[in-house]
Chains A and B, each alone.
Chain A
Amino acid sequence: MTEDAVAWVLLAVVAAYACAGGTDYGAGFWDLFAGGAERGKRPRWLIDHAMEPVWETNNVWLIFVLVIMWTGFPVLFQTVFTAMWLPLALAAVGLVLRGAGFALRKPTQRLAGRRVYGAVFAVSSLLTPFFLGAAVGGLATGRVAPGTEASADAWSNGTSVIAGLLTVAATAFLGAVFLTADARRFDAADLVGYFRLRAWCSLGALAVLAVVGLVVTREDARHVHDGLTSGIGLTLVLVAVVSALATAGLLYRSATGWARITAVGSVALVVVAWGLAQRPYLIPTSLTVSEAAGATTTLRWLLLVTAIAVVLVGPPLVLLYRLDTAGALQPLTEADLRRTAAGREPEDP
């Protein structure tokens, strides 16, 4: 069925955003908790260098999520953005602050200015994923149905809060794992241990939150809870747990390259498990995939556009990450921009 295929694409893109964007938010999370200007100097230096070339690409996935939602499942888009008005509006504000903070921090030279932009970037790195996660958690509870008006109840319940916290913890985990790998890549031996410890801690926090989440969702989000604790959903969750534990072990053995893969795998598997647990609903238990689907011709075209895009965008994306991990991507330095060339003498004195 076409709409199922599009739903799979949507799920895959959400998983991609969770992993790519999540890593990026995680870097911001650790920027926030890196301490004062002096103590946080080294971690922040690493975060800056690791994020710079890829952060924009990492965050463009979100635009796909939105576009596939409104083109493929217009009713879903309308419902989500009506019912979850405030958390999504706050997430949008967070996105502006975060991007602007990060982009403006680099070319700013005075320390005071950098502190302000850095703080803005770091705080919104925490709030944005929280609100996005809370919105998703709220959907799972069944409090939202087509026609539901915006209300605080939809996103200020136990499941929403736990989902928001889980999202933040997952971003912190991804961020720490990737930064451990980056620390090795940039030959910063002291930061390998620093971020490895943080990766382990965030994994611990994830485990605690997951257990709390299981208890909370039992009554509050029955459909998703059942899907995640039985059948294929449970299988995927267990594989994700194994994968996360493997990440912890790989970090211990300093196999940071593999650790990145297992970390991404564990987060992606949880997202996919969640998606499967919602079946056949896009919004449990009021809107099924087939009810929400847009015109069939559009869905077919959407799949075609997706296929073409995979062919066109895939290779450059691989190239970008390869160049990045190979250390071929570096920002221009002030020296590059200042090098005064011959021909700068006045030509008609």
Chain B
Amino acid sequence: MNSAIDHFLADGPAQLLPARELMAFTLGSHILLVPFGVALPAITLLMHYRGLRKGDAVALLLARRWSAVMAVQFAIGIVTGTVLSFELGLLWPGMMGRWGDVFGLGFGVEAWAFFLEAILIAIYLYGWRRLKPWTHFWLGLPLPLAALMGAFGIVAANSWMNTPRGFTLDGSGNPVDVDVRRAIFTPMFGPEYWHFVVGVVLTAGYVVAGVYAVGWLRGRRDRYHRLGFTVPFSVAAILTPVQFMLGDSIARSVFHKQPVKFAATEIVWKTDTHVPEYMFGRLHPDGTISGGIKIPQLDSILAGFSPDTKVTGLSSVPAGDRPTATQATIAHWAFDIMVTIGSLLLLLALWYGWCWLRRRDLPRSPWFFRCAALAGGACLLTVECGWITTEVGRQPWIVYQNMRVAEAVTDTRASTLWTMLGLVVVLYVLVFGSFLTVLLKMSRRWRLADEGAVTAAATGDVEGDTPYGPRPLSTTGGRDGGGA
């Protein structure tokens, strides 16, 4: 068998692989909802503001529908997120037991921010009908701030795992003299945080716009689709060049603060100057690279703006302290896919900006809308890739240079973990499948309603909103004009 895979399996106890897979699967699933949890409220509030400010009924209808989607999405996000905090204990008790008091405070901030978000989102989602329109809007406005605060906590914890500090080790290797401020504001925190925030906003923007791009391509060219496309797409298009700069800067921070991870993402084997850049390609355990496109000198230039820049290679650290060739290749591919998609999105944003500047109108080419429809999915892919890059690139460390993943893992038997993984995969496939089905059905219902096909049915179906019975007396007085 492939020696890289043997090594992958041999570098820890038997339960390491299933624990890793379980964490990767649950986190990888949850992460797809994160952009919407953080950024959809902001985009919805923007549309809501437009609706109230200009008395625009179409904008208000869009904001209401987006908040109906948010209700389901936020609930699924909460449950998959809660699972993750259980898994920190169920899968990595060693890490939490030793380091919990060093880096846990970020999670403390996150928990409160998240609580605030749950409260505000409940008021916002259920306030449409009975609150005064502007009161409702203002009560929703702190939502994006709470979301940014929550992201602060989570990213602080993750960046600490990448560049841990804020403690000293005593004789037996336990952390003492904890300095909370240094532990939260670690060197990778700033770059990771801004890259994350801009990334999730533009992902949510492209995904929402993509829905209306599809409608546009299918010939539904009304103001509703134009508005539903333009607002989120503009937000995303403005942020795309910003993200491009931030992405470049975070790569350089990794070069300075985590040189071995940088070596893995760029598959650099020997420490050297004039290092070439490989687009894709595959690293072998002996340091050779097959496939891919080689661009001479470029890696050194990108890392330090000069071909003389010295780039640390993977072979500079012992084999046991660095990602394996397979892991490096995974991180490298994830990184390259992310960069490639980011560059294509930049072109798409420029196309849009050019048309807007010239004609104050959307591009006319159907190819633009085809690309825009794909942009959302591509963005979700980059979210996954970014996370894979940072997590796989850190191997074999769970706390960089302080604790290996193998030391943190639970003692629970591998067979139990494999069973749990199977159960969770089935469960998540069902939950996410149902979630998508529900969203598609909602959108289909709305479309049919808009096309007037079911107007009669809608009037006859006043109970459509209440699952099991008539609406309460207090709400049947036709007071459903809230927000409009």
Q: A295-B176, A316-B120 are in contact. Are A82 and B411 (CB under 8 A)?
A: yes
Check if B101 sits within 8 Å of A294, measured CB to CB.
yes
Check if A77 sits within 8 Å of B96, measured CB to CB.
yes
Q: List A contacts of B32 (CB < 8 A).
A: none
Q: Does B68 contact A (CB under 8 A)?
A: yes
Q: A44-B468, A96-B431, A104-B438 are in contact. Are A330 and B78 (CB under 8 A)?
A: no
Check if A109 sits within 8 Å of B468, measured CB to CB.
no
Selected contact of B438 from candidates A54, A59, A95, A107, CB within 8 Å: A107
- Once bound together, how far apart are the Cα atoms of A334 and B101, in whole Å? 48
Q: Does A41 contact B (CB under 8 A)?
A: yes
Selected contact of A45 from candidates B107, B108, B435, B468, CB within 8 Å: B468
Q: Does A253 contact B (CB under 8 A)?
A: no
Nearest A residue to B465, CB-CB: A333
Check if B226 sits within 8 Å of A44, measured CB to CB.
no
Which of the segments B282-290, B330-338, B377-385, B469-477 contacts the partner chain?
Answer: B469-477
Check if A53 sits within 8 Å of B126, measured CB to CB.
yes
Q: List B contacts of A317 (CB < 8 A).
A: 115, 119
Q: Does A327 contact B (CB under 8 A)?
A: yes
Check if B108 sits within 8 Å of A67, measured CB to CB.
yes
Which of the segments B58-66, B205-213, B339-347, B391-399 contacts the partner chain?
Answer: B58-66
- Once bound together, how far apart are the Cα atoms of A114 and B65, in whole Å? 21
Which of the segments B85-93, B247-255, B262-270, B303-311 contacts the partner chain?
Answer: B85-93
Q: Which of A99-125 contact B (CB under 8 A)?
A: 99-100, 102-109, 114, 117
Q: List B contacts of A188 (CB < 8 A).
A: 472
Q: List B contacts of A52 (CB < 8 A).
A: 126
Check if A42 sits within 8 Å of B468, measured CB to CB.
yes
Measured between C-beta atoms, what is the minimum distance from A213 to chain B in Å? 27
Check if B116 sits within 8 Å of A343, measured CB to CB.
no
Which of the segments A84-92, A222-230, A240-248 contacts the partner chain?
Answer: A84-92
The count of A-to-B residue pairs whose CB atoms sit within 8 angstroms is 329
User: What is the interface residue range for chain B against chain A?
Assistant: 35 or more
Q: A335-B465, A344-B224 are in contact. Are A107 and B100 (CB under 8 A)?
A: no
Which of the segments A136-144, A154-162, A301-309 contacts the partner chain?
Answer: A301-309
Q: A333-B480, A341-B61, A344-B224 are in contact. Are A99 and B76 (CB under 8 A)?
A: yes
User: What is the interface residue range for chain A against chain B?
Assistant: 35 or more
Interface bits B208-238 vs A (CB < 8 Å: 1, else 0): 0000000000001111101000000000000
Q: Does A312 contact B (CB under 8 A)?
A: yes
Listed residue (B86, B427, B450) with the most chain A CB atoms within 10 angstroms of its CB = B86
Measured between C-beta atoms, what is the minimum distance from A330 to chain B in Å? 5
Measured between C-beta atoms, what is the minimum distance from A148 to chain B in Å? 10
Nearest B residue to A103, CB-CB: B75
Q: Does B118 contact A (CB under 8 A)?
A: yes
Nearest A residue to B129, CB-CB: A330
Which of the segments B1-9, B190-198, B292-300, B456-464 contacts the partner chain?
Answer: B456-464
Q: Does A1 contact B (CB under 8 A)?
A: no
Q: List A contacts of B105 (CB < 8 A).
A: 71, 298, 301-302, 305
Q: Does A40 contact B (CB under 8 A)?
A: yes
Interface bits B120-133 vs A (CB < 8 Å: 1, else 0): 11110111111100
- Once bound together, how far apart are the Cα atoms of A19 and B313, in whole Å? 56
5 A-B Cβ contacts within 8 A? A67-B110, A99-B75, A309-B115, A327-B130, A330-B475
- Measuring CB to CB, which residues of chain A are less than 8 angstroms from any residue of chain B? 37, 40-42, 44-45, 48-49, 52-54, 56-57, 59-64, 66-68, 70-72, 74-75, 77-82, 85-86, 88-89, 91-93, 95-100, 102-109, 114, 117, 149-150, 186-188, 294-295, 297-299, 301-302, 305-306, 308-309, 312-313, 316-317, 319-320, 323, 327-348
